A and B are shown apart, each in its own frame.
Chain A
Amino acid sequence: MYTFSNRLKIASFVLMIVGALGILGGFVMAPGTIAEAKEMVASHDGGHGDAHEAEAEHATKENDHAAAEAHGEEHDSSHDQHLLDQLKNRPWAALYVAAFFFFMISLGVLAFYAIQRAAQAGWSPLLFRVMEGITSYLVPGGIIVFVILLLSVLHMNHLFIWMDETVVAHDELLQGKSGYLNPTFFLIRAAIFLAGWIGYREYSRKLSIAQDASDDDSNFKLNFRISAGFLVFYLISESIMSWDWIMSVEPHWFSTLFGWYIFASMFVSGITVIAMVTIYLKSKGHLPDVNDSHIHDLAKFMFGISIFWTYLWFSQFMLIWYSNIPEEVTYYVTRIADYRLPFFGMVAMNFLFPVLLLMNSDYKRINWFVILTGIVILAGHYMDIFNAIMPSTVGDNWYIGIPEIGSILFFAGLFIFWIFRAISTQPLQPKRNPFIEESRHFHY
């Protein structure tokens, strides 16, 4: 039985406090008026001429969006208003990206866990308690994401421009989509998805623990059946969630494989965190039966799903690059023009790094190697979500500064606190899982 060490607990609280200060700082520093916003941009850019030129270029690009942004005839003043909105969005977007990122880790683990259950995998039951611990974060993480979405609906921020009625009034495309993209339906969908994910998680966890004390396999079999059913629900809800929560920040743009793409991101992040938590617990002398082969298998998944992510990233990019349709290609034009380093840096972190570091079979068994690659993968997938949300919400006024880092620290602290607290509530090794012997003797 694992006890939540005081050092880790204190570390998580420090992260949360420092992070909360960073988040607060971000909101305090956000400009309140147009004059303040202009001043901020001017002081950030070195030469004024340069900044003006960039703005002019930006303005012409925004012309396509004119309807969406509800720009009036007075282009200059509406542009300034737009700038203010973007700068005001920044702490919100930073908060949202980090909140979603840590939520998506536990959601990715939930999918991995359900697959292990539905496949009746023999190698993984030793890791079930770790996975269940990580998925416990679905509850706080899901509620926080939902609250941010709710505040967006209440016009506390401009993350989702389609929620703004004045924008929709000037935009025929958004009017056409309003049957689906409207605040009420949006929140209903979010509530249904969160209820489904959390409901499955809690029920499956209950059965998993009940199995330890029971004298037959009925809990195990029931868990198998609900997991198989849940995967169907999961694939549909995850896809729609990715359209709603991420793709709709750019409501004119769409990509048909977006759901898979976000899924790959959450899946690989989730598996990485399973490997990292397992290695951490092992280093503290827990999970004695987890051997190198279990780590090896997790590292294989990290390697494979990283390539799968790259495959989807590239497929999406290549098709849009090839066909060069204006309403599709703007997505990549803004990202490559304003986010060159994070956009291509993310591909290096999510593809080149894991491929080179984890290609060798022996390296997949070296714990510190897996941890090192894992840190890069997690940072890379944070950048992935960052690249998905930021260009549409803050435009070229992005920076990885106090609001972004503060949000990451806060949610990292909350995440660590929550999952280790959950892991410490139950014995780390399931006792009566029918496959536990196979898992114990698993060797590659």
Chain B
Amino acid sequence: MASKVIHAFYDDDDVLMLAVKKVKAAKLHIEEVYCPFPVHGLDKAMGLAPTRLAITAFLYGCVGLTVATLMMNYIMIEDWPQDIGGKPSFSYLENLPAFVPIMFELTVFFAAHLMVITFYLRSRLWPFKEAENPDVRTTDDHFLMEIEIHDNEQELRDLLMDTGAVEINISEKNSH
């Protein structure tokens, strides 16, 4: 479904932050803000729900810990029992100190890599993906606020000009 959106450009992150706060105060829904660099506190000002990425990272960490434990148990204890450090106990628990570094590393490995992959997928980024940002200047020195128009174009225009926008465009947008 195609919808009409208004694009307001800003050339300063502080101005952008104030603009976002004003737009939110006017009870308007901000579709998206495109920035050349992360702006601290923007997510809170936009009223975005807190990220759940940390929860996925914790779960991935648990997966990593499990994989490491099962893998080391199979390799070092069951399949080809190893005499570790001259202490031939052949028990996972008694050889635990030797396995802790691997368990730690794989926990970190799984948490970090799977979290990054989750982040990419959630942001709909993958190889050969066509860029979604509506204007190339948002990769250089401009910030762009996108608001959907519901028969209130002139009203929005006035409001956004008031907030210090340097340029305002109207365009068609295909929603995902």
Contact = CB atoms under 8 A, between A and B. Distances in A.
A321 B54 contact: no
Main secondary structure of the interface of A (DSSP, over half): helix
Contacts of B27: none
A323 B85 contact: yes
A3 interface: no
Judged by DSSP, the binding face of B is: helix
Interface in A408-444: 443
A443 B100 CA distance: 37
A314 B85 contact: no
Contacts of A318: 97-98, 100-101
Contacts of B97: 314, 317-318, 321-322
Interface in A319-342: 321-324
A380 B87 CA distance: 31
Contact of B85 (A317, A321, A361): A321
Interface string B26-50: 0000000000000001000000000
B54 A324 contact: no
A324 B100 contact: no
Nearest to A321: B97
Contacts of A314: 97, 100
B27 to A, nearest CB: 25
A318 B84 CA distance: 12
B86 interface: yes
Contacts, number: 20
Contacts of B54: 361
Nearest to A314: B100
A443 B45 CA distance: 14
Interface string A346-375: 000000000000010100000000000000
Contacts of A322: 84-85, 97-98
Interface in B33-80: 41, 54, 58
A317 B101 CA distance: 12
Nearest to B85: A322
Contacts of B101: 318
A337 to B, nearest CB: 16
Interface string A129-158: 000000000000000000000000000000
B98 A324 contact: no
Nearest to A361: B54
Contact of B87 (A317, A324, A361, A443): A324
A245 B159 CA distance: 69
Interface in B97-113: 97-98, 100-101
Interface in A192-208: none
Contacts of B86: 324
Contacts of A323: 85
A361 B50 CA distance: 11
A173 B86 CA distance: 27
A443 B97 CA distance: 40
Nearest to A318: B97
A321 B89 CA distance: 14
Nearest to A322: B85
Contacts of B98: 318, 322
Contacts of B84: 322
A228 to B, nearest CB: 28
Contacts of A321: 85, 97
Nearest to B101: A318
A321 B100 CA distance: 13
B23 to A, nearest CB: 21
A368 to B, nearest CB: 22
A322 B85 CA distance: 5
Contacts of B41: 443
B142 to A, nearest CB: 26
Contacts of B100: 314, 318
Contacts of A361: 54
**A314, A322, A323 — which one has the most chain B CB atoms within 10 A of its CB?**
A322
Contacts of B87: 324
B85 to A, nearest CB: 5
Contacts of A324: 85-87
Given A318-B98, A322-B97, A443-B41, 8 more contacts: A314-B100, A317-B97, A318-B101, A322-B85, A322-B98, A323-B85, A324-B87, A361-B54
Q: Which 3 A-B pairs have the closest CB atoms?
A: A322-B85, A318-B97, A321-B97
13 contacts: A314-B97, A318-B97, A318-B101, A321-B85, A322-B84, A322-B85, A322-B97, A322-B98, A323-B85, A324-B86, A324-B87, A359-B58, A361-B54
